[in-house]
């Protein structure tokens, strides 16, 4: 235990190439969790894993956001488990609700149809507010103003492996803007006109599209159609400045005016993913294969056994319940490897 602590210190200081006595200089970064008061204990599960596997060495701050006032019970309890500074933010009403240009009757009919069609969250109003908020507003919350990077953490997730380096410094040093662990196909019914609406935007604003984009990740026909691939946004390590930038702000506004957050059920995951895949250079988007992660019902478990043992992972790709989703049919990560021309880790064929 004692040895470990010493080792950590040495690593952290030499990484930074500072004098031995200099304090470790963290990145400008925070965790961020959107949550309800009722999410308290599922969120504690997540926080405990993040602290144990990573943050106990770095003490990054944590921002909690809610459309309702957090209770004293929530704030007091959470604050005890977070090793950095915890901030609790209330979401302003203008950022969580129906914008005035939305026809509420039309939206209600859509929800009814989706209820009959048994579309997951298809009949939910709050879920739609949540998706719209995560797409267009969380990064405008003043509690996030001091930071350049964030790591999104949801209640009831798992981290399977040690994270033995500073993920935020890694983003900064490699000039990365978006990092993910799991990617997959979106349900067609929830995004029927998302690509059409996106195309309108990029046709009118071609200057925002990167000449070295990840178009091949999101489209199998050079942008004619959307293949429904998206990064699963319940885990994100990303740049706040990317969302704050002109391209994304205008893109969000265009989507928001089109109404698909309410007339369909556009998720923040495909919205973030389309933006990252179009506006960023593919070198700015990173797959964290070494971050063992679970969000019901999928896992990212490091493919190589050596890596899993080195990082003391508790997942096992051979086991059903924490199987590695990465190389499965429904994962889009193989497409990401192709789009970037990355070499696949050894043994991936055995995990398809």
The binder of 192, among ligand GDP, Mn ion, none, by C-beta within 5 to 8 A per type, is none
Number of residues that bind ligand GDP (CB under 6 A): 12
* Residue placing its CB nearer to ligand GDP in the complex, 38 or 338: 38
Contacts of 166 (CB under 8 A, 6+ apart): 12, 15, 26, 27, 58
Determine, following the binding rule CB under 6 A, whether residue 155 of this chain makes contact with ligand GDP: yes
Q: Which residue has the tokens 């889009």?
A: 332
**Whole-angstrom Cα distance, residue 226 to residue 5?**
48
Q: 60-91 burial, b for 16+ CB within 10 Å, e for fewer? A: bbbbbbbbeebeeebbeebeebbbbebbbbeb
Active-site position among 51, 134, 186, 236? 236
Among 29, 32, 34, 161, binds ligand GDP (CB under 6 A): 34
Residue 236 annotated in active site: yes
Can you say whether the dihedral through the CA atoms of 252, 257, 261, 266 is positive or negative? Answer: negative
Do residues 80 and 48 lie in contact, with contact meaning Cβ atoms separated by under 8 Å?
Answer: no
Q: Which of 8, 45, 154, 162 binds Mn ion (CB under 5 A)?
A: 154
C-alpha span between 326 and 333 (Å, rounded): 6
**59 φ/ψ sector (left φ>0, alpha ψ -120 to 50, else beta):** left
The yes or no reply on residue 130 touching ligand GDP (CB under 6 A) is yes
- For Mn ion, the closer of residues 128 and 308 by Cβ is 128
Which of 55, 66, 135, 198 lies at the binding interface for ligand GDP (CB under 6 A)? 66
**Pairing mode of beta strands 236-239, 149-152:** antiparallel
| Residue in the structure block whose two tokens are 């969302």 | 243
Q: Which of residues 230-269 bind Mn ion (CB under 5 A)?
A: 234
Non-local CB neighbours of 148 within 8 Å, separated by 6+ positions: 27, 28, 29, 172, 239, 240, 241
Question: What Cα–Cα distance (Å) separates residue 174 from each residue in 71, 183, 273, 282?
Answer: 39, 21, 20, 12
Are 91 and 141 contacting, i.e. CB atoms less than 8 angstroms apart?
yes
Q: Which candidate, 195, 281, 176, places its Cα nearest to that of 236? A: 176
Q: Angle of helix 125-136 relative to helix 268-279, nearest 10 degrees?
A: 20
Site string for ligand GDP, 303-332 (x = CB under 6 A): ------------------------------
Question: 271 vs 280, which CB is nearer to ligand GDP?
Answer: 271
The CB-nearest residue to ligand GDP is 126
Residue 328's binding partner among ligand GDP, Mn ion, none (Cβ under 5 to 8 angstroms by kind) is: none
Cβ at position 131, least distance to Mn ion in Å: 12
Tell me the window of 9-17, 42-50, 57-65, 228-236 that interacts with Mn ion (CB under 5 A).
228-236
Stretch that binds Mn ion, among 82-90, 146-154, 214-222, 329-337 (CB under 5 A): 146-154
Minimum CB–partner distance for residue 5 and ligand GDP (Å): 32
Binding ligand GDP (rule: CB under 6 A), the pick from 113, 126, 225, 253 is: 126
Residue 12 or 49 with smaller CB distance to ligand GDP: 49
Q: Of 11-19, 30-38, 82-90, 282-290, which segment contacts ligand GDP by CB under 6 A?
A: 30-38
Indicate the residue whose CB is closest to Mn ion.
Answer: 154
Binding site for ligand GDP (CB under 6 A): 33-36, 39, 66-67, 126, 130, 154-155, 234
Residues identified as active-site: 236
Binding site for Mn ion (CB under 5 A): 154, 234
């Amino acid at each position: 235990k004692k040895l470990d602590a010493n080792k950590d210190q040495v690593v952290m200081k030499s990484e930074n190439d500072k004098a031995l006595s200099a304090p470790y200089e963290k990145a400008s970064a925070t965790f961020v969790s959107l949550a309800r008061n009722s999410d308290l204990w599922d969120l504690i599960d997540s926080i405990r894993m993040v602290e144990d596997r990573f943050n106990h060495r770095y003490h990054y701050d944590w921002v909690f956001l809610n459309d309702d006032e957090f209770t004293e019970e929530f704030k007091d309890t959470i604050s005890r488990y977070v090793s950095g500074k915890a901030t609790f933010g209330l979401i302003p009403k203008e950022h969580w609700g129906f914008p005035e240009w939305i026809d509420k009757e039309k939206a209600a009919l859509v929800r009814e149809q989706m209820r009959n069609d048994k579309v997951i969250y298809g009949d939910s109003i709050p879920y739609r507010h949540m998706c719209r908020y995560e797409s267009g507003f969380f990064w405008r919350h003043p509690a996030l103003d001091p930071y350049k990077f964030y790591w999104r953490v949801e209640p009831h997730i798992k981290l399977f492996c040690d994270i033995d380096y500073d993920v935020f410094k890694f983003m900064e040093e490699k000039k990365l803007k978006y990092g993910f662990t799991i990617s997959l196909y979106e349900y067609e019914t929830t995004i029927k006109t998302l690509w059409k609406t996106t195309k309108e935007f990029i046709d009118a604003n071609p200057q925002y599209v990167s000449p070295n984009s990840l178009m091949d990740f999101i489209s199998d026909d050079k942008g004619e159609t959307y293949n429904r691939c998206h990064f699963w946004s319940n885990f994100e390590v990303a740049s706040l400045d990317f969302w704050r930038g002109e391209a994304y702000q205008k893109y969000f506004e265009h989507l928001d005016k089109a109404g698909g957050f309410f007339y369909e059920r556009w998720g923040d995951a495909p919205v973030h993913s389309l933006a990252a895949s179009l506006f960023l250079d593919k070198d700015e988007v990173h797959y964290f294969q070494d971050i063992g992660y679970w969000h019901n019902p999928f896992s990212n478990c490091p493919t190589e056994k050596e890596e899993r043992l080195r990082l003391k992972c508790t997942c096992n790709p051979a086991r059903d319940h924490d199987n590695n989703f990465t190389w499965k049919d429904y994962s889009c990560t193989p497409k990401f490897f192709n789009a970037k021309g990355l070499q696949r880790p050894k043994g991936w064929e055995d995990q398809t």
